[in-house]
Amino acid sequence: MSVFIIDLTVKEVTELVASLGEPAYRAKQLLAWVYQRLAVSWEEMTDLPLTFRQKLAEKVSLHTLTPLHEVKAKDGTVKVLFNLLDGKTVETALMKFYSTDKKERFTVCVSTQVGCAVGCPFCATGWQGFERNLTAGEIIDQVLYFARRLQEQRKGHAVERIDNIVFMGMGEPFSNYNALWQAIEILNAPECFGLSARSMTISTAGLVPGIKKLGGEKLQVGLAISLHAADDKLRDKLVPVNKKYPIGELIEACREYFARSGRRVSFEYALFDGVNDSLQQAQKLADIIQDLNCHVNLISANNVANQKMQPSPRSRVLAFQQELKNRGINCTLRQSRGQDIDAGCGQLRSRFLT
């Protein structure tokens, strides 16, 4: 199998260029074509010598993903199901938001695994089971695909670009830490994609070793914890990894993370009707995070096939939010995106699995 340029670190690209007998500055040109000018073929790289491009074409491939199916929601969310080279599939979403000055901002929700081993009952990816980790290049290519789309849509106009990346798609990111971190470093590197580390967020179901490791990293990447319950008995059912890393251990890891990194933790809490949306749960949640520097994102859950896991009515969502606020907890109510296209994690891929 051919080597993919996006699977290589900056150092490895430099070594590749040297091995092909080219001067070192060609590496910078090559990286700019791949990550900034978003080339899809070697022929596009017209300021590289033809002989160099021919050598590259013999030894290296550019991209790893092929779009298989696309859906678009009324709110502007676009989700694409991609074919990987081994025939497996993975999905990625592009979400459009508006800042306070009405400027469009674009976030890519990226997958890190094919399937997921965590097995949350409300997550379509969890029902599919785990198949394999994605490579760094497969993670990066999801971002480049949508960056290229935005570039193509804005020909002749102001160029829009990706503003944020959230590793909240299929899979548990910390179960694929090395490939994830390589992708983050490349997406952050100024000679590559050049996106600020603060514009990237990793979402985890609560893998404590990954949280601790992230706390020691130099890049200021955000951390979001998919909490969804405030006591171990309920969270064991909703997020089964809690049996290995219970809430007390998880919260302690978050304290350690903040102490080492100085970065605030976000907690994601999807509200399900009659499951985890009681005022008692809100009170317990406030108690366990009371003295932690954090923010809670309350989420109106996506409709899923599991009839026992349906979205909470808005009145109960608002009551839950008010209870947290009354107890001094910073919280925001975040609307789910792409409800009309089943944009929740793994839902599009589920349609194509046989």
Over the stretch 226-239, which tens digit does the pLDDT of each residue have? 999 999 999 999 99
Q: Which domain holds residue 44?
A: 3-61
Both 43 and 92 in a single domain? no
Both 261 and 177 in a single domain? yes
Amino acid present at 232: D
Both 162 and 280 in a single domain? yes
Q: Which pLDDT value is given to residue 351? A: 47
Per-residue pLDDT for 343 more than 70?
no
Average pLDDT for 71-98: 94
Per-residue pLDDT for 158 more than 60?
no
CA–CA separation, 193 and 187 (whole Å): 5
The CATH number linked to 191 is 3.20.20.70
Both 89 and 47 in a single domain? no
Both 24 and 47 in a single domain? yes
Per-residue pLDDT for 93 more than 60?
yes
Domain total in the chain: 2
Choosing from 46, 61, 76, the residue where a domain stops is 61
Residue by residue, DSSP assigns 264-311 as PEEEEEEEBTTTT-SHHHHHHHHHHHTTS-EEEEEEEPPP-S-TTSPB
Q: Which pLDDT value is given to residue 125? A: 83
97-101, 121-125, 321-325, 345-349 — which is least confidently predicted?
345-349
Q: Which pLDDT value is given to residue 1? A: 46
Both 56 and 81 in a single domain? no
CA–CA separation, 290 and 280 (whole Å): 15
Burial of 335 (0-12, 13-18, 19+ CB in 10 A): exposed
Both 290 and 348 in a single domain? yes
Is the whole model's pTM more than 0.85, yes or no? yes
Both 187 and 326 in a single domain? yes
Both 70 and 49 in a single domain? no
Q: Which pLDDT value is given to residue 159? A: 59
Average pLDDT, the chain: 91
Q: Which pLDDT value is given to residue 338? A: 55
Average pLDDT for 66-88: 94
Per-residue pLDDT for 342 more than 60?
no
Is residue 185 a contact partner of residue 178, using CB atoms and an 8 Å limit? Answer: no
Both 250 and 105 in a single domain? yes
Per-residue pLDDT for 127 more than 50?
yes
Choosing from 32, 61, 90, the residue where a domain stops is 61
Both 45 and 159 in a single domain? no
The CATH number linked to 41 is 1.10.150.530
**Residue 305 banded pLDDT, cuts 50, 70, 90:** low
Q: Which pLDDT value is given to residue 249? A: 98
Both 327 and 238 in a single domain? yes
Task: Give the active site residues.
Answer: 91, 345
125-139, 204-218, 339-353 — which is least confidently predicted?
339-353
Average pLDDT for 210-234: 97
Residue-wise pLDDT tens digits, 270-281: 999 999 999 999
Average pLDDT for 111-132: 91
Choosing from 43, 61, 79, the residue where a domain stops is 61
